[in-house]
A and B are shown apart, each in its own frame.
Chain A
Amino acid sequence: MGLLQGASELFPVSSLGHAVLVPSLLRWSFKQSDPSFVPFLVLLHLGTATALLILFRDQWVSIIRGFFTAAFAGQMKTEPERLAMLLLTGTIPAAILGVLLESRIKSLFASPYEAAGFLIVNGLLMLGFEVLRRRAERSAGVESSSDSEREAHFASADRISFRAAAIVGACQALAFLPGISRSGVTIGGGLLAGLRHQEAARFSFLLATPTIFGAGIVEVPQLFSKDIPLGEYAVSAVLAGIAAYASARFLLRYFRSGRLDPYGWYCIAAGLVSLALLHFAI
């Protein structure tokens, strides 16, 4: 479960959707209503966020430094300063929507059928993002260029507008629906805002770090309740962190020239197969 969560959290395929579907399809004795489920999920999220912090440690040092210098100076002069303010702008709508809506939405759509349905919707979204991106490439006249030339035409993460950062951040709330991927919608949002694929992925991972950490840290007190097998859960968290680290490295390399289409098709296929398996109780 730790490996599954760590890997699927960053791939644009919905970790929550897989966390609902896989145990149900494999008939794992894993009840989400169990009181120990939330602490388990908290540790997995903290493992994933720690992996992202380690992967982007140099960038986070300059972003945090940039945040303080820009906040006290009241102006942005360098790229890390601008990126720090963009991440703050993107995190606020996600935090507001998370506190107000998360538990209500998750309790409304917790069944495997809905997760499978939303996984198909997620796949269609990924394909839709790429259709719009190809349209932008055609209008820029770079559709027949090489991958690197085509990507070079688009912007880096710190050039995104503040309005776009807020919208991309708010899109993270869609991931409360099991089956809709947080990284998928934020990478897609970054593409629509004119970022290169790799930069959209980097912005998505940087934006995810405070959100995942914040969501995990507020639930930390639940780890200290009785009957929690903390050692076992900690091993899962480490596995989630390792999977997340490897996934992030793979995706940053993949998105140098790759697109969201394969993940879109995977989500549609996985959703349809899951629906069939659930319907026929195979």
Chain B
Amino acid sequence: MKSNALAVVLGILGVIFIICAVLYAIGGILPTFTSSGVAGPHYKHAILLAVLAVASFVAANFARPRVV
């Protein structure tokens, strides 16, 4: 499925994932979004969000219509 709108949405999603990954890596900012609720770095969450960001950017590039 090729669409500029879809590519933009996936790109924005990727940026959001990166911001969240950084916030979780720094810690103390998003403590309520973990099962422990403990403040501090949450590397598992940060790595997961970084992987999701990469996947979003890759998907955005796939969704972008090719110029022939």
Contacts and interface: CB of A to CB of B under 8 A. Distances in A.
A96 B48 contact: yes
B38 to A, nearest CB: 13
Nearest to A104: B35
A70 B54 CA distance: 13
B48 A99 contact: yes
Nearest to B63: A74
B64 to A, nearest CB: 6
Contacts, number: 33
Main secondary structure of the interface of B (DSSP, over half): helix
A214 interface: yes
Nearest to B42: A99
Interface in A70-109: 70-72, 74-75, 85, 88, 91-92, 95-96, 99-100, 103-104
Nearest to A67: B58
Interface residues of B, number: 15
Contacts of B61: 71-72, 74
A74 B53 CA distance: 16
A104 B57 CA distance: 31
Interface in B2-47: 35, 43-45, 47
Contacts of A85: 58
B64 A218 contact: no
Interface in A157-215: 214
B16 to A, nearest CB: 15
Interface string A229-270: 000000000000000000000000000000000000000000
Contacts of A74: 61-62, 64, 66
Interface string A62-74: 0000000011101
Nearest to A100: B35
Interface of B: 35, 43-45, 47-48, 51-52, 55, 57-58, 61-62, 64, 66
